[in-house]
Copies of this chain bind each other. A is one copy, B any other.
Amino acid sequence: MKIDPSSPKDLSAQIAQAIRDAIVAGKLIVDARLPSETELSDQFNVSRSTVREALKRLAAQSLIRTQRGATGGAFVNRLTFEDAQAMHVTTSTLLLSMNDVSFTQACEARYALERACAVMACTRRESSHLEKMKAELGHQAQDELSDEAFCASDVAFHRALVDSASNPVLSYQLAGAVEAMQPLMNMITFTARSRVKILMLHGNIVDALEQRDPSAVKDSLDLLESYTQALAEDLIVARPSG
């Protein structure tokens, strides 16, 4: 692991990259302990502060964890699906909010991915998944729900749908797409009538899943997508200024 002091990049960035490469290449395996900060500063011939900045960069990516005390130090972290998913959601949310992606485009991507799960979910879904979805339906039927709460339940419903495909890799990949949509969905004002319609469409999805009917699931998702897009369309027409 070599460092170039004349590189345009910060020393701490170079050191972080060197350690990251070692992890990706498998030279540092999970739970392996890195040399202490003092040892690293000797190896790289930089100050301890610089090493620490490098380690903080890696910690921000959940690549390492640190522990104080006698047997402490920095350890290669096992990246869990949970951690990765949380990072993915944050990144996706910011990506959408910072790049004025059209609602149409984001929505299209989301439903395209969800449809991909639908077929698998039909063969794999268990009763617990259906119960989770039905619980969310019950929640969405409450009149006094705020728009935000309605959207949050909507996200939970779709997360359950994705999870019912019983493939954690798929769930992880789709979490970003589904959850990152929430801020955009929150912009929609759901009237009582639109809520009833969405509830009905959600019900169709659950029914189709219950009967393990892939094409019915696909059709219900298509309808829901069209309706969501139409609601967003109305929003743009109603508020052309903002």
Stretch at the interface among A101-109, A125-133, A139-147, A192-200: A101-109
Q: Is the beta-carbon distance between A120 and B112 smaller than 8 angstroms?
A: yes
- A170 an interface residue at 8 Å Cβ cutoff? yes
Q: Is the beta-carbon distance between A95 and B172 smaller than 8 angstroms?
A: yes
- A53 cross-chain contacts in B, Cβ below 8 A: 52-53, 56
Q: Is the beta-carbon distance between A109 and B176 smaller than 8 angstroms?
A: no
Across the two chains, which residue of chain B brings its CB closest to A113? B116
Which A residues from 70 to 124 make CB contacts under 8 A with B?
78-81, 84, 87-88, 90-99, 101, 105-106, 108-109, 112-113, 115-117, 119-120
Q: Is the beta-carbon distance between A105 and B58 smaller than 8 angstroms?
A: no
- Tell whether A112 pairs with B117 under 8 Å between CB atoms, given A79-B94, A95-B172: yes
The interface size bin for chain A is: 35 or more
Cα of A143 to Cα of B176 in the assembled complex, Å: 40
- Tell whether A84 pairs with B91 under 8 Å between CB atoms, given A97-B26, A116-B113, A169-B96: yes
Which residue, A93, A95, A101, A119, has most C-beta atoms of chain B within 10 A?
A95
Please give me the 3 A-B residue pairs with the lowest Cβ-Cβ distance, nearest first. A116-B116, A57-B60, A109-B169
A-B contact pairs, 26 of them (CB 8 A): A20-B90, A23-B94, A24-B94, A30-B98, A53-B56, A56-B57, A56-B60, A60-B61, A61-B91, A79-B98, A80-B99, A84-B91, A87-B91, A88-B91, A92-B172, A96-B169, A101-B169, A108-B170, A109-B167, A112-B117, A112-B167, A112-B170, A113-B116, A115-B116, A173-B174, A173-B176
